[in-house]
Structure 1
Amino acid sequence: MIRDEGRDGAVALDEKGEVSAVTTGAAWVIGGGSGIGRGVAIALAASAEHVIVSGRRESELASTARAIREVGGRASALALDVGDADMVVAAAQEIIRRHGAVRTLVYSAGTNVPNRFWSNGAPEDYERVLDVNLTGAVRAVHAVLPGMRSGRDGLIVLVSSWAGWTFAPTAGAAYLTSKTALGALAETINAEERLNGVRATHFCPGEVETEILDTRPNPPSRAERDLMLNADDVGEAVRWIADQPARICVNEIVITPTANTSYA
């Protein structure tokens, strides 16, 4: 069930209280309850007509929706398990029924496991990571593409990782495979759907201070986390992509902390 809350109309205010640009149609952020997805959803509220946040945890989704309303946006919370193909289709159909075609899809659902190496991992862990990080994205893209095609306008941002842009051995085989594959997925969308006005971005952030860090075999210290990107940094970068004219396709973008430990 969608919970629909927020201001009337489709005009957003910027930080000075002035009217900002409005993106026609709905923005759907999957994985929007926490971490990067939450930062993206709040940032998009400044220019999107309506932001729908999805994920498995209803309390976190409700918190993000409240934060969007606090900055003058319009938001809905829609619980969703990306591993359930029928649920993804049903969610997309409900969004379309209530808000029209999804103009912007941001797929930010992602996971990893502590036992991620060939020496200690298991096939079922590999399958779970790929299902959330990659197959869930495919399900979501399939669900929104018809509406984007018919409107001849659509943006798909696939939140990947530094590990999806270059080899990062500590991420583990499943995470590396899933995030690298998102780059190929974005390019197939750009190659096949460009004449329909649909464009995709392979978005590759370096270390971001979110809860996924706790899945590492050796989670970083507080001091190390303080040097990382935060969810708001990533959100503003995604908003910049979304605010570009429809004639512009940002095929891939990489953003890292200045103190990038991947170089260590």
Structure 2
Amino acid sequence: MSRSILLAGLALAFAFSGAHAGDSAPRPLRIALTLQHGLPTTHAMIGGKPVTLVLDAGSYQVVGLKTAVLGRVPVRFTGDQESFADADGHVFTSRIFHAQPLEAGGLLASQFDGNELVGSSGKAGLPQDGLIGFGLLGRYQMVFDEPGGELRLYPSSAPGVFKRECGSEGGALRLERGVMVSEVQTGHGPFRVQWDSGSAQDVLRPSAVAGRIKDADLLRRLTFQRFDVAGQPAGPQTVTLRQFAAPDVDAVLGTGFFSTHVVCLDPSHGRVAFR
């Protein structure tokens, strides 16, 4: 089933108040978050029922809910199914459901199609009830402020957001097979990294440094003194060496990076910045 079908029927009802006096950027939709089990988590309502959801910009889904949660939240199964693999290579077949509405802080989706999170591994194995994914978050300029306990969402057309929130116009970000990718320059050469707020760790494939750093495959962690992400210095940066099956990148920037920076992501215009 194509992603366009999954997103069919997604209707957003939102309102942005006027800009601050003397400021060209409008006020954002605000979603309070806390780190739970290493992941940014918010309290939300679906169909009037409370749920806890991971704010997962690395998952292409609109909303994902665990099988047990679907038994207590008012949803309608569409009869469609989809098979997909997570970052660890686990393959799942999940049912597609239709629900309404979703309320998460200032964010409201009046109706949406979501995925069942099945199995006991991946996101389905987390204590949270499910996730809000890139299918919804990617419609906005996202400002992940985990140190401040908040995700701020601006219209994709809003001017001045990056300068105001992250202090620069940002560097290059590309969408590749539904994930956000940037290039990192290190003292040991370049790497391709995914931006993934739904990853509890910053991880690097051991094969990505094989031949570049002596005995790197024997190490658990590796620290780069130079770590320039999308042209912006961020070093020193420590990553965990761990093999993962997907996506097709060298590394994933997750909670280790997001919890120590304010990260601005604009997939519509291919920009990323942080401070």
Structure 2 length normalisation: TM-score?
A: 0.27
* Higher helix proportion: 1
Structure whose CA Rg is larger: 2
* Higher strand proportion: 2
